[in-house]
Chain A
Amino acid sequence: MLKIHNLHAEVEGEKILKGVNLEINPGEVHAIMGPNGSGKSTLASVVAGNEEYEVTEGEILFDKSNISELSADERAHKGIFLSFQYPVEIPGVSVTNFIKTAINQIRKAQGLKDMPANEMLKKIREKSAMLGMDRKFLSRSLNESFSGGEKKRNEIFQMAMLEPQLAILDETDSGLDIDALKIVADGVNKLRTKDNATLVITHYQRLLDYIVPDVVHVLVDGKIIKSGDKELAKKLEKRGYDWLKEEQLV
């Protein structure tokens, strides 16, 4: 589904991604771990189409076609979703109006009519209930004065509404207490099918107890230096990243 080949990216002349290779198939869950500043969020942003980063080499294939030239919204129309590490506040637009706009814009891009209002309402009710969200929450301005946990929950709510092919979750666990983490992880698991895929970015193993990955990658200094199964995550949790860097040097 997603195939990244030798991806290099930089911002303001600074090289951040230095040859990333990654392949994710339908039905799979992958995790990317790595120390702070290693380029995890950058990788997520570049896949989602953030034009702030310049891709200098390599390519990104989604469903076998090169998406490097597509804008972020066009990538979203193809089914790529990014849950932000730091969701942006948009005062003056409610959670509901925002998600309605997103859904109908995606439908428009697919040549479909607006979703009927009652269907929309039903879906909003269903998904917000699944994530244990309060009604009042939905009429608040998007992310404005939300707590860290509320922001993350709202990201997953949007994911649930949009039902993407590929969901990239960037540090979705940060800011969540353990109960909220379980609810959110449960939500993500419910959304999994044999046709979609999930890429979980985290630097704690904790989340991976709930969203169990098929493959774990380690990103250090803009490169994936090791991939393995879920045991790798546990090993990283215990021993940190230094042994891997040393292994690299040898």
Chain B
Amino acid sequence: MKLKEKLLSSYLAFEENIDLENDIHNIRNEAIKYFEHSGFPHRKQEAWKYTSLNSILKEDYSIFPKKEDTIEYRDIKKYCIHDIDTYQIVFVDGIYASHLSQTTHDKFDACLMSSALNKAKYKPIIKKYFNKVAPQESLTALNTAFSYEGAYIKIPKGVAAEKPIQILNFSTGNEHALMIQPRNLIIAEDNAQVQIIERHQSLTENAVLTNSVTEIFAGKNANVDYYKIQNDKVTSSLIDNTYISQDRDSEVSMHTFSFGGKLTRNNLNFYQNGSNINSILKGVTIIEGKQHVDHNTLVHHRKPHCESHQDYKGIFAEKSTGVFNGKVLVDKIAQKTDAFQSNNNILIDDQATINSKPQLEIFADDVKCSHGCTIGQLDEEALFYMQSRGIPQKEARALLMYAFANNVLNSVKIPEINKRITKQIALKIGVQLGFDL
């Protein structure tokens, strides 16, 4: 059975197990109808021109895993940020793992989507926010249809979450191939602050396809500082759909570190709904082999006096492929917009490729929009310069690549993440650098 048919019939089974009275049910029904009609995206669509899902869709995925979380903290420790205190919301094969988690309801909620969707007390919030920024789009609709579990985080007015929250999704390989569809909802009310770290990690070489949707709402003057760490096995693929709605004076910053996975597609969408908003999108991609990473970003400037800063760096080795498709949309009313976009890439090997496509659609006349994209090899002259000072070629290359990625790390506000990512970069590049990181 083709995956699409399998999903459609699984939906019927899924329906039998959920509360049909729930308002969400209508949303799910609409969504599955939409998916049935649209199907999976394909390369004839402009936004999917350079990313083909064919090879990952042909696996025979289990849609509902057997409930069996056999893993212990020691199995996952190295994938967590464990040297600082955090809240953790941990899922194993898509199912909440309470023994690995630390949630809270004290000053704010950092808990489960399943309870938020089902418990009466969350009803008004779900009604206000759920599926409100996520559009009807094939993969997002598919996720909406099966939306059941994920992280639910709500920071009330004026509260600053005192420690970062980690959303961790592990897959065990108990299934030959597994498809997971996490659904996250994150609400930072007016003047609230939160830091979030998200990771998807397979523990074995069995195929995994994650189709995740995250909706983020930043209220007036709220601050959301979000990190996505993508360093999965080469048998795992991730389609990450993130939709961010920002109110006036808010700042949302998203760092995406893509270091591994068979196919990674980041659909990252910012919608600015007030003045004086800042949206920050940063990415470092370092891949090799036949891995594929696609950053598909949108910043929609809908109000005057807002800023956006996009800075994506990519290093592609061997036969790896990268895509950067960055769209900046400035509405006519959005005067004084300051939108910056930059995408710089280094191709280490002849067979590596990157397709970089900035798309600027500007309908306002008094704006500052700049974009730049470069694709290059490492600078030979710089290599000779470093070698002439006694630094061997391998280390010189590493130092150049490190330096290349370095300025993206400057905006990381959690030192442990900075340290980790720097280490990862050094590790990916295969050398120990000669100075303190």
B384 touches A102 (CB 8 A): no
Question: How many B residues touch the partner, as a band?
Answer: 20 to 34
B389 touches A158 (CB 8 A): yes
Asked whether any CB of chain B lies closer than 8 Å to the CB of A29, the reply is: no
B434 touches A114 (CB 8 A): yes
Asked whether any CB of chain A lies closer than 8 Å to the CB of B374, the reply is: no
Contacts of A50 in B (CB 8 A): 384, 388
Contacts of A49 in B (CB 8 A): 387-388
Would you give the 0/1 interface string for B361-405, flagging 1 where the beta carbon is closer than 8 Å to chain A?
000000000000000000111101111111111011001101110
Contact partner of A48 (CB less than 8 A), chosen from B382, B388, B399, B434, is B388
| B405 to chain A: closest residue by CB | A92
- Contacts of A72-98 to chain B: CB distance below 8 A: 72-73, 75-77, 81-82, 84, 87-93, 96-98
B402 touches A76 (CB 8 A): no
Given A101-B433, A105-B434, the answer on whether A92 and B407 have CB atoms closer than 8 Å is yes
Q: Considering the chains assembled together, what is the distance between the CA atoms of A162 and B387 in angstroms?
A: 13
Nearest CB of B to A70, in Å: 11
| A110 to chain B: closest residue by CB | B390
B435 touches A101 (CB 8 A): yes
Q: Considering the chains assembled together, what is the distance between the CA atoms of A206 and B385 in angstroms?
A: 27
Contact partner of A93 (CB less than 8 A), chosen from B380, B387, B393, B399, is B399
Q: Considering the chains assembled together, what is the distance between the CA atoms of A250 and B104 in angstroms?
A: 95
Nearest CB of B to A210, in Å: 24
Given A73-B392, A101-B391, A105-B391, the answer on whether A92 and B402 have CB atoms closer than 8 Å is yes
Q: Considering the chains assembled together, what is the distance between the CA atoms of A162 and B395 in angstroms?
A: 18
Q: Considering the chains assembled together, what is the distance between the CA atoms of A92 and B378 in angstroms?
A: 14
A88 touches B435 (CB 8 A): no
Contacts of A90 in B (CB 8 A): 382, 385-386, 399-400, 403
Contacts of A97 in B (CB 8 A): 434-435
Q: Considering the chains assembled together, what is the distance between the CA atoms of A144 and B208 in angstroms?
A: 45
Contacts of A91 in B (CB 8 A): 403, 407
Would you give the 0/1 interface string for A86-122, flagging 1 where the beta carbon is closer than 8 Å to chain B?
0111111100111111111110010000100000000
Asked whether any CB of chain B lies closer than 8 Å to the CB of A52, the reply is: yes
Nearest CB of B to A159, in Å: 10
Given A76-B387, A82-B388, A104-B434, the answer on whether A88 and B395 have CB atoms closer than 8 Å is no
Nearest CB of B to A172, in Å: 15
Q: Considering the chains assembled together, what is the distance between the CA atoms of A81 and B402 in angstroms?
A: 25
Please classify the interface of chain B as helix (H, G, I), strand (E, B), loop, or mixed, using the class held by over half of its residues: helix
Contact partner of A84 (CB less than 8 A), chosen from B385, B393, B406, is B385
B388 touches A101 (CB 8 A): no
Q: Considering the chains assembled together, what is the distance between the CA atoms of A72 and B388 in angstroms?
A: 5
Contacts of B385 in A (CB 8 A): 84, 87-88, 90
Nearest CB of A to B263, in Å: 29
Contacts of A109 in B (CB 8 A): 390, 392
Contacts of A189 in B (CB 8 A): none
Q: Considering the chains assembled together, what is the distance between the CA atoms of A167 and B429 in angstroms?
A: 32
Nearest CB of B to A169, in Å: 13
A73 touches B393 (CB 8 A): yes
Asked whether any CB of chain B lies closer than 8 Å to the CB of A71, the reply is: yes
Q: Considering the chains assembled together, what is the distance between the CA atoms of A105 and B393 in angstroms?
A: 11
| A168 to chain B: closest residue by CB | B388
A52 touches B435 (CB 8 A): no
Nearest CB of A to B392, in Å: 5
Nearest CB of A to B376, in Å: 14
Contact partner of B406 (CB less than 8 A), chosen from A88, A92, A96, A104, is A92
Contacts of B381 in A (CB 8 A): 88
A102 touches B391 (CB 8 A): yes
Of the candidates B379, B389, B395, the one having the most CB atoms from chain A within 10 angstroms of its own CB is B389
Of the candidates A77, A93, A158, the one having the most CB atoms from chain B within 10 angstroms of its own CB is A93
Q: Considering the chains assembled together, what is the distance between the CA atoms of A77 and B395 in angstroms?
A: 14
Q: Considering the chains assembled together, what is the distance between the CA atoms of A48 and B406 in angstroms?
A: 29
| B410 to chain A: closest residue by CB | A92
| A86 to chain B: closest residue by CB | B381
| B389 to chain A: closest residue by CB | A102
Nearest CB of B to A67, in Å: 13
B407 touches A76 (CB 8 A): no
What are 28 residue pairs bridging A and B, where the CB atoms are less than 8 Å apart in the complex?
Answer: A48-B388, A49-B388, A51-B384, A52-B380, A72-B387, A73-B388, A84-B388, A87-B385, A88-B379, A90-B399, A90-B400, A91-B403, A92-B402, A93-B399, A97-B434, A97-B435, A98-B389, A98-B399, A99-B389, A100-B435, A102-B390, A104-B434, A105-B390, A105-B392, A106-B390, A109-B390, A109-B392, A162-B389
Given contacts A72-B388, A93-B403, 9 further A-B contacts (CB under 8 A): A50-B388, A73-B388, A88-B381, A90-B382, A100-B435, A101-B395, A101-B399, A102-B389, A105-B434
Closest 7 A/B residue pairs (Cβ)? A92-B403, A101-B434, A76-B390, A72-B387, A106-B390, A92-B406, A88-B385
